[in-house]
Amino acid sequence: MRITRVRLFEVRLPLVHRFQTSSHAKSTLDHILIEVIDADGRVGWGEIASPAGPFYCSETTSTAWDICVNFLLPTVLDADWDHPEQVDALWSRIRGHEFAKAGLVGAAWDLWCRAEGVPLGAALGGTRDRVRAGVSLGIEATIDDLLTQVAHQVEAGYHRVKLKIGHGWDIEPVRAVRGAFPDLDLHVDANGVYASDDQTLDHLAELDAFGLTMIEQPFAPRDLLGHARLQRRIGTDVCLDESVVDLHDLELMIALAAGRVLNIKVSRMGGLTVARAAHDMARDAGIPVWCGGMHEFGIGRAANVAISSLPGFTLPSDVSGSDKYYARDVITPPVIARDGWVEVPAAPGLGYQVDVEWVKANTLRSFDSAEV
């Protein structure tokens, strides 16, 4: 296959509910949607779901735009490849910028799957026709507000709730939610805000009392040793997110026993091809995985649903329905969760139609390789 033209759209959508983590807060998101077009006029879509600011990782929407336009696209345009697995090799000299790479390789997967007439999930090796979804809830102004949010999502049928925690918002909100929902599959995510000193290890060990499924990324991304110390200290499973951006990180996590669960984020790991390889490696090591989200619009969300259909994704993924995030998504139909399950589409590629008019109506800036 040969991609001969690429269009980028930086699209802003408002979130239906403001989201706050230990590292940042947001009410709107600016994601870059990528349309790749081949010599026969076939198209594929991908999404760069980078946050606007460098608080989750070092990338931003602007760096992703720059890297995509000036470094990734020149390696991809007019290059020949037979399978999307080969696309990462085109930019092997470009370090980092996983979110930008994920958007472009995702578009290549969609293009190839549509050309071959196969659904993305099956092309990746998926074995399920529906996946279990959980929701991620931000830090709220009060514990009552949080309880309202949890009740709302439990009522909607979601199978697991994850709570964002941080300094001053950890033990007490968890105690309150656990008290009100004794049987809920509950876990917490600190987005790396804590220091891994002895006093903090003691503090986090208090969470063992609440029967959490896991504690996600308590310490800084590169603090693998801190996570290994915590995992030795507590009974609750430690899950890594920000710490694992490539397969070497995952090998290190396994070798150090720095956690017992892996959050595979397609964006954080540079796209579907690496994410699938991480799934395989984790599976061989006996580490259960689930698919994390970055509040993706429908295009990235559909890719997350597809990879969540692989057999090692045994825990609920952050693939909630579009309506949890956006009043109107960029795909039709939107992603729908029923009783906490999301269907894996059987149609070719991502399995959804991109609403190009809605994309254009919300575009802040665009780029077309045919116009340069």
Q: Which residues of this protein are in contact with Mg ion, per CB under 5 A?
A: 189, 216, 241
- Tell me the three state secondary structure of residue 29: strand
The residue whose Cβ lies closest to ligand OSB is 293
Find, among 237, 325, 309, the residue nearest to 272 by Cα. Answer: 309
* 160 membership: H or E segment, kind and range: strand 160-164
- Distance separating alpha carbons of residues 295 and 31, to the nearest angstrom: 10
Question: Least Å distance between CB 136 and ligand OSB?
Answer: 4
Find, among 92, 23, 100, the residue nearest to 300 by Cα. Answer: 100
User: Is the CB of residue 252 less than 8 Å from the CB of residue 226?
Assistant: no
Is 324 one of the annotated active-site residues of the chain?
no
**CB of 23 or CB of 273, closer to ligand OSB:** 23
Q: Which residues pair with 8 in a beta bridge?
A: 34, 367
Question: Least Å distance between CB 217 and Mg ion?
Answer: 5
Q: Which of 22, 50, 60, 191 binds ligand OSB (CB under 6 A)?
A: 191
User: Is the CB of residue 187 less than 8 Å from the CB of residue 212?
Assistant: yes
The residue from 26, 162, 265, 324 that is catalytic is 265
**CB of 49 or CB of 90, closer to ligand OSB:** 49
By a kind-dependent CB cut-off of 5 to 8 A, residue 279 interacts, out of ligand OSB, Mg ion, none, with none
Question: Least Å distance between CB 241 and ligand OSB?
Answer: 5
Residue 221 interacts with ligand OSB (CB under 6 A): yes or no: no
Find, among 39, 69, 195, the residue nearest to 61 by Cα. Answer: 69
Is 265 one of the annotated active-site residues of the chain?
yes
Where b means 16+ CB within 10 Å and e means fewer, 198-236 reads: eebbeebeebeebebbbbbbbbbbebbebbbbbbeebeb
**CB of 7 or CB of 101, closer to ligand OSB:** 101
- Distance separating alpha carbons of residues 216 and 162, to the nearest angstrom: 9
- Distance separating alpha carbons of residues 351 and 356, to the nearest angstrom: 15
**CB of 36 or CB of 131, closer to ligand OSB:** 131
**CB of 22 or CB of 362, closer to Mg ion:** 22
The type of residue at 342 is V
Restricted to residues 294-313, the positions that interact with ligand OSB (CB under 6 A) are 294-295
Question: Least Å distance between CB 78 and ligand OSB?
Answer: 34
Residue 59 interacts with ligand OSB (CB under 6 A): yes or no: no
Omega cis (within 30) before 333: yes
Contact segment (CB under 6 A) with ligand OSB among 112-120, 229-237, 289-297, 352-360 equals 289-297
The residue from 26, 164, 324, 360 that is catalytic is 164
By a kind-dependent CB cut-off of 5 to 8 A, residue 334 interacts, out of Mg ion, ligand OSB, none, with none
Residue 119 interacts with ligand OSB (CB under 6 A): yes or no: no
Residues in the chain: 372
Question: Least Å distance between CB 337 and ligand OSB?
Answer: 11
Question: Least Å distance between CB 127 and Mg ion?
Answer: 25
Q: Which of 35, 38, 241, 329 binds ligand OSB (CB under 6 A)?
A: 241
Give all strands of the β-sheet with 3-20 in edge-to-edge order. 43-48, 25-38, 3-20, 363-368
DSSP 232: H
By a kind-dependent CB cut-off of 5 to 8 A, residue 308 interacts, out of ligand OSB, Mg ion, none, with none
By a kind-dependent CB cut-off of 5 to 8 A, residue 293 interacts, out of ligand OSB, Mg ion, none, with ligand OSB
**CB of 140 or CB of 189, closer to Mg ion:** 189
Find, among 134, 140, 133, 135, the residue nearest to 165 by Cα. Answer: 140
State the catalytic residues.
164, 265
Binding site for ligand OSB (CB under 6 A): 21, 56, 136, 189, 191, 241, 292-295, 318, 320
